Chain A
Amino acid sequence: MKQLVVIGNSAAGISAVEAIRKVDKTSKIIVISDEDYPSYYRCLISYYLAGQVREEKLLYRSESFYKENNIELRLNRKVMRVEPKRNRIILEDKSQLSYDSLLIATGASPKFPHLAGIKKRNVFGFRTIKDVKEIEKILPVAKNACILGGGLIGLKAAYALKKRNIEVKLIVKSKQVLSQMLDYKAAGFVQKKIEENGIELIFGQDAVEIIGDGELKAIKLDSGKVIGCSLVIVAKGVSPNTDLVKDTPINVREGIIANEFLQTNIPNIYTAGDVCEGFDLVLNAPSVNALWPIAVEQGRVAGQNMTGQGLKYQGSLGMNSLEFFGLAVVSLGIFKIKEDDPNFEEIKFLDEKQNIYKKLILKDNYLVGAVLVGDIRNSGVFLRLIRERINISSLKDKLLNENFGYPEIMDLVNQKENLYV
Chain B
Amino acid sequence: MKQLYYEVKKCLGCKSCEFACALTHSLTGELFKEINKEDPSLPRKKVLFSKGNNYPVSCRHCREPKCVDACMAGALTYDKEKGMVLHDESSCVGCWMCVMVCPYGAIRPNIKTKLPLRCDKCKDKDEPACVSACPTGAVIWKEEA
**Residues of chain A having any CB pair with chain B under 8 Å:** 41-44, 47, 52-53, 57, 60, 292-293, 296-297, 319-323, 326, 328, 330, 332, 376-381, 383-384, 403-408, 410, 413, 418-421
Leading 9 A-B pairs by shortest Cβ distance: A380-B102, A407-B50, A293-B70, A43-B72, A407-B55, A381-B105, A321-B100, A378-B105, A405-B48
Q: How large is the interface on B (under 10, 10 to 19, 20 to 34, 35 or more residues)?
A: 35 or more
**For the complex, is B44 an interface residue (Cβ under 8 Å from A)?**
no
Taken together as a complex, chains A and B put the C-alpha atoms of A326 and B99 apart, in Å, by 15
A406 close to B97 (CB less than 8 A): no
Cβ distance B57 to chain A, nearest Cβ, rounded Å: 6
Residues of A within 8 A of B96 (CB): 321-323, 328, 330, 376
Taken together as a complex, chains A and B put the C-alpha atoms of A53 and B95 apart, in Å, by 13
A407 close to B57 (CB less than 8 A): yes
**For the complex, is B60 an interface residue (Cβ under 8 Å from A)?**
yes
**Residues of chain B having any CB pair with chain A under 8 Å:** 3-8, 46, 48-51, 53, 55, 57, 60, 66, 69-70, 72-74, 90-91, 93-97, 99-109, 111, 114, 140, 145
Residues of B within 8 A of A420 (CB): 5-6, 8, 55
B72 close to A421 (CB less than 8 A): no
B93 close to A292 (CB less than 8 A): no
Q: Is the interface of A mostly helix, strand, loop or mixed?
A: mixed
B100 close to A41 (CB less than 8 A): no
Known: A328-B96, A380-B102, A419-B4. A44 touches B73 (CB 8 A): yes
A380 close to B105 (CB less than 8 A): yes
Known: A379-B100, A419-B60, A420-B6. A57 touches B91 (CB 8 A): yes
Residues of B within 8 A of A319 (CB): 100
B93 close to A47 (CB less than 8 A): yes
B74 close to A57 (CB less than 8 A): yes
Cβ distance A16 to chain B, nearest Cβ, rounded Å: 13
B107 close to A418 (CB less than 8 A): no
Taken together as a complex, chains A and B put the C-alpha atoms of A42 and B74 apart, in Å, by 11
